[in-house]
Amino acid sequence: MNILEHMNAEGHEQVAMFSDPASGLKAIIAVHDTTLGPACGGTRMWPYESEAEALTDALRLSQAMTYKSAAAGLHFGGGKGVIIGDPHKVKSEALMRAYGRSVDTLGGRYLTTTDVGTTARDLEFMRQETRHVTGLPVSLGGSGDTSIMTGLGLYMGMKACAEEVWGNGGLRGKTVAVQGFGKVASHLCEHLMEEDTRIVVTDVFEDALDRARDWGLEVTSPNSIMTTDCDIFAPCALGGVLNSQTIPQLKCRVVAGGANNQLLSDDDGEELHRRGILYAPDYIINAGGIINVEAEMGDAGYSPERAREKTERIHEIMGSVIRTSQAEEISTAVAAAHLAEERLDSVRRIRSMRRSCQ
């Protein structure tokens, strides 16, 4: 991969790579765009097969974070950190503190929080080395578990899609197939269970499936979830699951889930639209976590009420994306991108005018 050419093509401002032999840290931080404020995004720890795979993930995820914050009306730019390694095997205090020192070298251009493979405990270790950490436990003055609001946002986005497809937002009696049963999916399912929704879940980890069974949920194999006959398919694991091979297998009317970068390519968003499957762009409906983080940044400190109020607006934002898609006869993926780009362009114009007046 020609890194600089890729950065220029996608508008990335910075990519930083870090190594700490003593702890075993190998990490990449990508800053996509800081037009709206400091880049903010979680740190993902995953056993990537290569550095190129990790870099590609960081670049794609950081761009999605720019769009996520822009569409949600937040004052954050987009960034993402990835740590190469199996969190179940090589994670340690020393590694997380080394990563915290890496974050600190960026001087506040990037604010980190949790993502797949990292926890609030990891943030506490990072906090020993840098102040540029968000989403800390409430006991430490932070906003706590971001997955709670992320799950709520997914639920609100689903309801907006249900209103469009079935004429009302009720999910009672509908079948939702959930791919991945981690923290975000668990909080989503709590809301769905309150509506007496039929839920079918899968996960690659047996302990997650055991928890699903304890909740009384139906469980299926990872290889079967994409072909489950359902009303809503909810990808809540890793990205790229919607592609030319998997989309023809779908048996649903709506795709709405928490995984980042669900579309392997832009063409996949167009294919869902062509097939009449309503796609809820991931960065629109999974923004509850970053909204929760922003709610701790004000002078008054974290307000769960403010976080919940802004997260519930995802219903309205998703509705706006659907209306734009219909009015302009474009896919919801393109409509969502237009929404984010319009805000970015408007702030760039404001900044340009200010500079010209100085």
Strand intervals (E) in 129-196: 175-179
The DSSP letter of residue 226 is G
225/110 Cα distance (integer angstroms): 36
80 is catalytic: yes
pTM (whole model) above 0.85: yes
Q: In what order do the strands lie in the sheet with 218-219?
A: 218-219, 198-202, 175-179, 232-235, 254-255, 278-279
Tokens of 164: 């469009």
268-278 confidence digits (pLDDT tens): 999 999 999 99
Closest CA to 258 of 232, 239, 231: 239
329: left (phi over 0), alpha (psi -120 to 50) or beta: left
* 257 phi, psi to nearest 5 deg: -150, 180
Q: What is the mean pLDDT of residues 87-115?
A: 97
Check whether 356 has a pLDDT greater than 70.
Answer: no
What share of the chain in percent tops pLDDT 70?
98
The structure tokens 């503190």 sit at: 97
Check whether 140 has a pLDDT greater than 80.
Answer: yes
* Residues pairing with 176 in the sheet: 199, 232
Our measurement of the distance from residue 290's CA atom to the centroid of its chain's CA atoms, rounded to an integer in Å, reads 8
Confidence of residue 296 (pLDDT cuts 50, 70, 90): confident
Check whether 282 has a pLDDT greater than 80.
Answer: yes
11-70 confidence digits (pLDDT tens): 999 999 999 999 999 999 999 999 999 999 999 999 999 999 999 999 999 999 999 999
* 231 phi, psi to nearest 5 deg: -90, -40
349/341 Cα distance (integer angstroms): 12
Query: Among residues 26, 68, 80, 159, which one is catalytic?
Result: 80
The mean of the pLDDT values for the chain is 94
Q: Give the angle 217-202-331 at the CA atoms, nearest 5°.
A: 110
Domains of the chain by range and CATH? Answer: 11-62+77-134 (3.40.50.10860), 147-288+314-341 (3.40.50.720)
Check whether 8 has a pLDDT greater than 90.
Answer: no
- SS3 assignment, position 105: coil
* Whether the Cβ atoms of residue 255 and residue 243 lie closer than 8 Å to each other: no
The DSSP letter of residue 263 is B
Check whether 1 has a pLDDT greater than 70.
Answer: no
For residue 297, what pLDDT is reported? 79
The DSSP letter of residue 182 is S
Of the listed ranges 99-103, 236-240, 347-351, the one predicted with least confidence: 347-351
For residue 99, what pLDDT is reported? 98
